[in-house]
Structure 1
């Protein structure tokens, strides 16, 4: 049952990314271009995601346990660390350069391109190197 729910949620997430055009790198780059052809429409997408997330957290606080698990997995770290800052900077740099972040990039596999494949290979290579550096 967990896998079925995960599949449905993943399909819904991917469809939402495609409908909102978060999988279109140019749309994202236009959103990030405040001094050029700024496209503020993605603010609505992000605002909608925040509302859904906030509702989910509110509901989870009223439940004793999730429907398909023994306990909730809610992060409780609030410390700002050097690795967190470095990761955020790298993430933002990559997002601003390419116009994709991991979720939309994976959802874009429905319409693959050489640029997308290069991005995904680079992303996974960066994740692998980051994990090796963290454990070293």
Structure 2
């Protein structure tokens, strides 16, 4: 699908959504690593309430939007579920993500919001996230290239 099929307000509304998300994380103090670490140590259970609130709003919209609208107004695509397989990559990736989250006390979405509340040292965690994502991309590209290489038994 070409990007020209999208509504002209598509990208600005994504930016507004990101600003609202970041403001919400900052306002709820979930952009502060010490709050997240307190949650992971079962000392502050505010994080599940923030996550549940966001999941509830998202769930309602995902349930009602296909029933009320024929097509999303901004993307002009059909509503559909995209299921991904639950395999060992999901388990291993989730475990690695969880260890990184526990060590840094921050998840990727909150890391950007954490900059907005003045947490400049979070730049180290962001650099680590980008480096980790880059390393995984290189690793996957090499694996995909070796899987596609001819075996000579054709």
TM-score by length of 2: 0.79
Distance 1:113 1:74 in 2: 39
Matched, 1:84 2:90: yes
Distance 1:22 1:103 in 2: 10
The verdict on how the C-alpha distance between 1:84 and 1:74 changes in structure 2, with shifts beyond 3 A counting, is farther
- Structure 1's unaligned 5+ residue stretches are none
CA contact (8 A) 2:66 2:79 kept: no
The verdict on how the C-alpha distance between 1:74 and 1:59 changes in structure 2, with shifts beyond 3 A counting, is same
Larger Rg: 2
For residue 11 of structure 1, what is the aligned residue in structure 2?
Answer: 19
Q: How many residues align?
A: 132
For residue 147 of structure 2, what is the aligned residue in structure 1?
Answer: none
Q: How far apart are 1:60 and its partner, in Å?
A: 2.5
The verdict on how the C-alpha distance between 1:135 and 1:74 changes in structure 2, with shifts beyond 3 A counting, is farther
> Once the two structures are superposed, what CA deviation does each residue of 1:41-82 show, in whole Å capped at 9, x if it has no partner?
112101101101111211232122111112157552242112
The verdict on how the C-alpha distance between 1:39 and 1:112 changes in structure 2, with shifts beyond 3 A counting, is closer
Distance 2:112 2:59 in 1: 24
- In angstroms, what is the RMSD of aligned CA positions? 1.6
For residue 113 of structure 1, what is the aligned residue in structure 2?
Answer: 120
For residue 42 of structure 1, what is the aligned residue in structure 2?
Answer: 47
Q: How far apart are 1:129 and its partner, in Å?
A: 0.8
Distance 2:53 2:99 in 1: 24
Distance 1:44 1:89 in 2: 23
- Structure 2's unaligned 5+ residue stretches are 1-8, 143-154
Distance 1:73 1:85 in 2: 28
